[in-house]
A and B are shown apart, each in its own frame.
Chain A
Amino acid sequence: MSGRRIFARPARLAAIAPYVWMVLFFLVPFGFVLKISLSQTAIAQPPYEPVFDLTAGWEALRAAFAALSLDNFRLLASDDIYVFAYVRSLTVAVTATALLLLVGYPIAYGMARLPTRWQAVAMVLVIVPFWTSFLIRIYAWINILQHDGLLNQILLALHLVSQPVVWLSTDSAMYIGIVYSYLPFMILPLYATLAKMEPVLEEAASDLGAPPWQVFWLVTFPLSLPGVGAGVLLCFIPIVGEFVIPDLLAGSNSLMIGQTLWLEFFTNKDWPVASAAAIVLLVVLLVPLLLYERLQRRQLEQGR
Chain B
Amino acid sequence: MTDELPRTDVTADTVGAGALPAAGEPLLRIEGVAKTFGTFRAVNGVSLDIMAGEFFALLGPSGCGKTTLLRMLAGFEAPDEGRILLGGKDIAQALPHERPINMMFQNYALFPHLTVRDNIAFGLKRARLARADIATRVAEMVALVKLEGLEKRKPDQLSGGQRQRVALARALARRPQLLLLDEPLAALDKKLRESTQGELMELQRRLGMTFIIVTHDQEEAMTMASRIGVMRDGKLAQVASPRELYEAPRSRWIAEFVGDINLFDGESKLRDGHRLVIGTRDAGALVVDEPREPVGAGKFAVAIRPEKVKLSRRGPVSEAGHETAINRLDGVIADICYLGGTTTYKVKLDAGGTVQASVANSARLDVNAYSVNQHVVAWFTPDDCVVLPS
Determine direct contact between A and B, CB below 8 Å. Answer: yes
Interfacial residues, chain A to chain B (CB-CB below 8 A):
1-3, 6
Q: A3-B71, A3-B96, A6-B76 are in contact. List 11 more A-B contacts (CB 8 A).
A: A1-B37, A1-B77, A2-B76, A2-B77, A2-B78, A3-B75, A3-B76, A3-B77, A6-B75, A6-B95, A6-B96
Range class of the B interface residue count: under 10
Complexed CA–CA distance, A2 and B79 (Å):
10
- A3 CA to B134 CA, complexed, in Å: 28
Closest residue of B by beta carbon distance from A4:
B76
Residues of A within 8 A of B96 (CB): 3, 6
Q: For A2, what are the chain B residues with a Cβ–Cβ distance below 8 Å? A: 76-78
Chain B residues near A6 (CB, 8 Å)? Answer: 75-76, 95-96
Using an 8 Å CB-CB cutoff, how does the interface string of B61-103 with A read, 1 for contact, 0 for none?
Answer: 0000000000100011110000000000000000110000000
Task: Determine how close the nearest CB of chain A comes to the CB of B81; give it in whole angstroms.
Answer: 15
B194 to A: closest C-beta gap in Å: 31
Closest CB-CB distance, A6 to chain B, in whole Å?
Answer: 6
Roughly how many angstroms separate A6 CA and B95 CA in the complex, as a whole number?
8
What is the CB-to-nearest-CB distance from A1 to chain B, in angstroms, rounded to a whole number?
6
5 nearest CB pairs, A to B: A3-B76, A2-B77, A1-B37, A6-B95, A3-B71
What are the interface flags for B37-79 relative to A under an 8 Å C-beta threshold, 1 for contact and 0 otherwise? 1000000000000000000000000000000000100011110
Tell me the complex Cα distance, A262–B71, Å: 59
Instruction: Point out the residues of chain A lying under 8 angstroms from B78, CB to CB.
Output: 2
Contacts of A3 in B (CB 8 A): 71, 75-77, 96
Query: How many angstroms from the CA of A217 to the CA of B75 in the assembled complex?
Result: 54
| A120–B76 alpha-carbon span in the complex (Å) | 39
Point out the residues of chain A lying under 8 angstroms from B76, CB to CB: 2-3, 6
CA distance A6 to B37 in the complex (A): 16
A3–B72 Cα gap in the complex (Å)?
9
Provide the bound-state CA to CA distance between A3 and B77, in Å: 6
Instruction: Using CB atoms, name the residue of chain B closest to A6.
Output: B95
Cβ of A3 to closest chain B Cβ, rounded Å: 3
| Chain A residue with Cβ nearest B74 | A3
Cβ of A7 to closest chain B Cβ, rounded Å = 10
Which residues of A have CB within 8 Å of B37? 1
A1–B72 Cα gap in the complex (Å)?
Answer: 11
Q: How far is the CA of A2 from the CA of B77 in the complex (A)?
A: 5
Query: Which residues of B have CB within 8 Å of A1?
Result: 37, 77
- Nearest chain-A residue to B95 (Cβ)? A6
Instruction: List the A residue with the shortest CB-CB distance to B35.
Output: A2
Chain B residue with minimal CB distance to A7?
A: B76
Cβ-closest chain A residue relative to B78: A2
Instruction: Determine the distance from Cα of A6 to Cα of B77 in the docked complex, in whole angstroms.
Output: 9
Could you list some 10 contacts between A and B, CB below 8 A?
A1-B77, A2-B76, A2-B77, A2-B78, A3-B75, A3-B76, A3-B77, A3-B96, A6-B76, A6-B96
Complex: how many Å from CA A1 to CA B37?
Answer: 8
B198 to chain A, nearest CB (A): 31
Query: Which interface residue of B37, B75, B77, B96 has the most chain A CB atoms within 10 A?
Result: B77
In whole angstroms, how far apart are the Cα atoms of A2 and B96 in the complex? 12
- Interface positions of B from 229 to 276, Cβ below 8 Å from A: none
In the complex the two chains form, what is the Cα distance from A1 to B96 in whole Å?
A: 14
> Which residue of chain B has the shortest Cβ distance to A1 in the bound complex?
B37
Minimum CB–CB distance for A137 against chain B, Å: 37
Q: How far is the CA of A1 from the CA of B68 in the complex (A)?
A: 9
- B18 to A: closest C-beta gap in Å: 25
CA distance A225 to B95 in the complex (A): 47
**Least Cβ–Cβ distance between B40 and chain A, in angstroms:** 10
What 0/1 readout, one digit per residue, does chain B (142-174) give for beta carbons within 8 Å of chain A?
000000000000000000000000000000000
In Å, the complex CA distance between A6 and B78 comes to: 10
Bound CA span A6–B71, Å = 13
Looking at the assembled complex, report how far the CB atom of A290 sits from the nearest CB atom of chain B, in whole angstroms.
Answer: 28
- The complex places the Cα of A289 from the Cα of B71 at a distance, in Å, of 42
Report the bound CA distance from A1 to B95 in whole Å.
Answer: 15
A65 vs B248: C-alpha distance when bound (angstroms) = 83
Alpha-carbon distance between A2 and B35 when the two chains are bound, in angstroms = 11
Question: In the complex, how many angstroms separate the beta carbon of A109 from the nearest chain B beta carbon?
Answer: 33
Interfacial chain A residues near B71, Cβ < 8 Å: 3
Q: How far is the CA of A257 from the CA of B319 in the complex (A)?
A: 100
Residue of A nearest to B68 (CB): A1
Q: Which residues of A contact B95 (CB under 8 A)?
A: 6
Residues of A within 8 A of B77 (CB): 1-3
Query: Nearest Cβ distance between residue B95 and chain A, in whole angstroms?
Result: 6
Tell me the bound Cα distance from A1 to B38 in angstroms: 11
What's the minimum C-beta distance from A141 to chain B, rounded to whole angstroms? 44
The docked-state distance in angstroms from the alpha carbon of A1 to that of B35 is: 11
